[in-house]
């Protein structure tokens, strides 16, 4: 009986496994896009992009949101539901603030004449950051669902798996943004 219990304990939950497969696929996509950016940046007529300062602020906001989602997960594990609800709400607000700051930053890029025309740098930038925004939007939808469930859902089997998956995905989009931001600061 102990052997079966230990084997079950060592298995990864199917939802977590699916999430890790999806994260691996997304990582490969971004690795391919940033590699293509490097190759294309060596062509004649390439215009470099200066990142707006507001992206530094949005980076701090998303890093802070990663901290709050981790604290929310800890609160959920300790069954401190009021703390969990507050931290999940704060994470959601920080995620929305990140998107708003990104919108302002891209408005500044557009004002610098970094558009889809001309330099390939702008085209790559909008495609790569746009895909990241799509994944952040998915994370915000997930956070919204988790926040609503925290107030309306009845917890029968007090499973931490959904909260762990949401937190892991949110950490992923955070780390992905940091990678992209540093990449464009150094290479862009």
Q: Is the pLDDT of residue 1 over 60?
A: no
Structural domain boundaries of the chain? 19-186
Select from 135, 122, 137, 143 the least CA-distant residue to 176: 135
Q: Is the pLDDT of residue 46 over 90?
A: no
pLDDT of residue 125: 81
Go through 67-96 and write b for each residue having 16 or more CB atoms within 10 A of its CB, e for each that does not: ebbbbbbebbeeeeeeebbbbbbbbbebbb
Helix, strand, coil in percent for the chain, rounding step 5: 80, 0, 20
pLDDT of residue 9: 66
pLDDT band for position 5 (cuts 50, 70, 90): low
In angstroms, the Cα distances linking 76 to 69, 80, 169, 178, 183 are: 10, 6, 17, 27, 35
Choose the CATH number for 19-186 among 1.20.120.80, 1.10.10.10, 1.10.260.40, 1.10.490.10: 1.20.120.80
CA 106 to chain centre: 18
Q: Indicate the helix (H) or strand (E) that contains 141.
A: helix 120-152
pLDDT in tens, 87-140: 999 999 999 999 999 999 989 988 887 777 766 677 788 888 888 998 999 999
pLDDT of residue 3: 56
pLDDT band for position 71 (cuts 50, 70, 90): very high
Q: What is the average pLDDT score of the chain?
A: 85
Select from 66, 31, 84, 75 the least CA-distant residue to 139: 66
Of 8-17, 55-64, 178-187, highest mean pLDDT: 55-64
Residue labelled with tokens 């330099």 = 119
pLDDT of residue 151: 83
- Three-state DSSP class for 93? helix
pLDDT of residue 152: 83
Select from 49, 74, 31 the least CA-distant residue to 160: 74
Select from 168, 174, 166 the least CA-distant residue to 146: 166
């Amino acid at each position: 009986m102990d052997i079966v219990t230990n084997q079950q304990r060592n298995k990864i939950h199917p939802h977590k496994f699916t999430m890790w497969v999806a994260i691996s696929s997304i990582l490969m996509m971004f690795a391919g896009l940033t590699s293509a950016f490097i190759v294309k940046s060596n062509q004649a007529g390439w215009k470099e992009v200066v990142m707006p300062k507001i992206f530094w602020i949005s980076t701090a906001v998303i890093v802070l949101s990663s901290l709050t989602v981790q604290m929310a997960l800890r609160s959920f594990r300790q069954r401190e539901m009021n703390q969990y609800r507050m931290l999940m709400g704060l994470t959601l607000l920080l995620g929305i603030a990140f998107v708003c700051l990104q919108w302002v930053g891209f408005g500044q890029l557009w004002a610098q004449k970094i558009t889809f025309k001309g330099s390939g740098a702008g085209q790559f930038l909008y495609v790569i950051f746009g895909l990241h925004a799509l994944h952040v939007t998915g994370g915000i939808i997930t956070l919204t669902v988790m926040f609503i469930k925290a107030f309306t859902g009845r917890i029968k089997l007090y499973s931490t798996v959904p909260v762990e998956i949401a937190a892991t995905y949110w950490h992923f989009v955070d780390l992905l943004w940091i990678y992209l931001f540093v990449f464009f600061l150094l290479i862009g």
